[in-house]
Amino acid sequence: MALLQISEPGKSTSPHEHRLAIGIDLGTTNSLVASVRSGIADTMADENGNHLLPSVVHYADGKSSVVGNDALIAGQKDPVNTISSVKRMMGRSFSEINSVINRSSNRIVDTDTSVPRIETASGLKSAIEVSSDILKSLRDRAEKTLGGELFGAVITVPAYFDDAQRQATKDAAKLAGLKILRLINEPTAAAVAYGLDKRVNGIFVIYDLGGGTMDVSILKLNKGVFEVLATAGDAVLGGDDMDHLIVDYLVEESGEKNINDPVFKQSALTQARKIKENLLANDTTDIKLLLPGGEEWSGQLTREKMQTLVAPVVEKTLKPCKRAMQDAGIKKTDINGIVLVGGPTRMQIVRKLISEFFEQEPLTDIDPDKVVAVGAALQADMLAGNKNNDVLLLDVTPLSLGLEIMGGMVEKIIPRNSTIPVARAQEFTTFKDGQTAMSIHVLQGEREMVSDCRSLAKFELKGIPSLVAGAARIRVTFQVDADGLLNVSATELTSGIETRVEVIPSYGLTDGEIESMLKDSISHAGDDMAARALREQQVEADRLYEAVTAAIAQDGEALLSESKLSEIKTCLNTLDTVSKKTDRNAIKLAIEKLDKATQEFAAMRMDLGVSRALSGHNINEFTKEPD
C-alpha cells in the first residue's frame, strides 16, 4: 500500500512534475531495483514479497524466457539452457568467457561477430541479451509497483568494469527498453546511500564483495561531495569462486567421478549456495546432493570447515585493499568507517578478516544486499529532477589512458585515479618532412612501452598540411564521461581538420589483467624507465640522422668542403650503428658529436635560406610602412 506524503503548503511536488526514476543493482548472483517513494529510498519486492531477483535466465524451445526464482527451479532439471552469472561474461571474448565459466554447463559459440553467443533451446544468446531479460523483469516490477511509465534508470557497475563492459551494460539496458540516466560505480552508490542517510563527513572504505566481482574504493565525504580517492579490485573474484571451492569439497566427499554431468554440477552449485546461507546462522548444516545415477548423497558441513574452504578467496581481496590505501595516500588510522556491500560480506569470515586488516569493526547497520540499489535510486531521483542537486559524485578512472608515440612508447594523457568526468589534451607534431597523416593508437595501462599495455582503439588523422618535421601542431583530446566511457579526438590546429573515435573495445579485460597491470607497473618500474630512456635516445638519433641526411643531399656539395663532408658522414655512420644497440650513453655521445660537427653547416644553411628568400627583392620592400 502506498504511503501518503504530507508536505508544507506550496512545497509539494505536482504530480506532473514528479518523474518515475529507478536505481538498479545488476548483480552477478542477485539483482535489485529501488526507487524513492514519499522521500524514502527502498528496494521493490515482487508479488511474493521477494526483493532479491536471482540473476538467472532459463530459455525453453518456443517459449518466453523465465527469469529469477522460476529460472533457478527450471535449472535443476535443465542446466544447459539456464544461464547464471552472466555478468562475468559481459564485454568478453570467446576465449575469455570460456576461462571465466569453465565450470558452467552452458555451451559458448564463437560467432563471426565480435560478440560470442551462448547456445540455448531458444537460439543463440549474447551476454547482453541475457542481461536485458534480467533488466526487463526489474523494469516490469518497477512499473507495476510505481504505477506508471519510467523516466529513466541509474544502473550500477563494478568500479573495475572497463569501456567494453560498461558499453555492454548500456546496450543491455537499451534492449530492455530503459533510458540510462547514468552508470554509477557500485562502491560509489553504496557511499551515496550511506552518506545521505548518516549525514557524515570523513574518509570511508567501501568494501564490495559480490557474486562475481570485488571492488574496494576509498572515498572522502564532505558536505555532500563524494570524492573517490582511489579504487582497486578484481573483475573476476567473488562468491561464485567460493561456491566452486565448496563444490570441489562436495565432489571429494561424495566420491562422485562423473563431475561433468550437467545436472550434477547444477545440484552441487545449488547446495554450495544453500550451505553458505545456512551457515550464517548455524554451526552445522545438512547436505543432500543428487548424483548422476539418481542416488542421493547425504552429509554434513560445519561453519568452521566451510570458512577454511573459502578463506583463499577472502584473503585475495586484501591485496586490492592494500593497493587502494597506498594510492589514496592514507593510513588505517585515517579511516572513519568501513561500509560492507554484497551478500558474501554477511559471512563471518569476511567480517573477521576485514576487521583484522583495517583494525576496526566494519559498519553492520546497513543491509549489504540493498545498499547499492538504494544509492542508485537516490542518484536516479536527483538526475530525474525530483530533488535539488545537493550531492556531487566524483568518481575516478581505474587505469591510465594514453597513446603511442614514436619508438613504441606510451604517453599517458589521463593518469589512473583521475576524477571523472575529465578531459585532457596534449599537443604532438610530425616526425618526418611532408608527413600528411598520423596514426592515433589509444592505450590503457601503467607500463611505459606499448607492448606492455592494452590496446583500446586505432584511427588516423589525414589531411595534415605538408610541412617540415615538427612544424605541424596536432592536439589530441581524451574525454572520459560520467559513465567512464572514453572519447578521443585529434585536431590539426593550422588547418582545423579533425577526426574522433568513441572507444568501445570488443572485449573486457582478461582474468586478472588489471591486477597484473598494476603489479607489473610497480615491479618493472626501473626497467620500464630505462627502456623508455633508451627509446627516447633512439628516436632522437633517428630524427637527427634523417634531418642531417636530407640536408646533405640538398646543400652538402654546395656548402661543405670534402673533408668536412667526410667528417659529418663518419659521424652519421657512427650514430646509425650505435642507435641500433642498447648503450644509451653511447647513443647520447654520438648525437652530441654529430650535432657539434654540423653546427657550422646549419648556420651556413640558414644564411643560404635567408639569401634565397631575399633574392629578387629590395630591402625597402620589407621596411616600408603600411598604408
Q: For residue 212, give the C-alpha cell.
A: 562475481
| Strands (E) located in 85-151 | 107-109, 117-120, 123-125
Sheet harboring 401-405: ordered strands across? 409-414, 401-405, 437-444, 454-462
Residue with cell 554509477: 184
Q: Which of 133, 208, 448, 452 is catalytic?
A: 208
Indicate if the alpha-carbon torsion angle 192, 198, 204, 210 is positive or negative: negative
Cβ contacts of 560 within 8 Å, gap of 6 or more = 552, 568, 601
Q: Which of 46, 78, 87, 125 is catalytic?
A: 87
Active site residue 186: yes
Cβ contacts of 98 within 8 Å, gap of 6 or more = 108
The reply to whether omega before 368 is within 30° of 0 (cis) is: no
Cβ contacts of 304 within 8 Å, gap of 6 or more = 283
Active site residue 25: yes
Residue 331 burial (C-beta neighbours within 10 Å; 0-12, 13-18, 19+)? exposed
Listed residue (301, 308, 372, 383) closest to 342, CA to CA = 372
Q: Which of 78, 162, 186, 492 is catalytic?
A: 186
Distance between CA atoms of 178 and 182, rounded to whole angstroms? 11
Q: Give helix 186-198 / helix 371-383 axis angle, nearest 10°.
A: 80
DSSP, res 3:
P
Active site residue 208: yes
Listed residue (126, 115, 140, 117) closest to 24, CA to CA = 140
For the annotated catalytic residues, the residue numbers are 25, 87, 186, 208
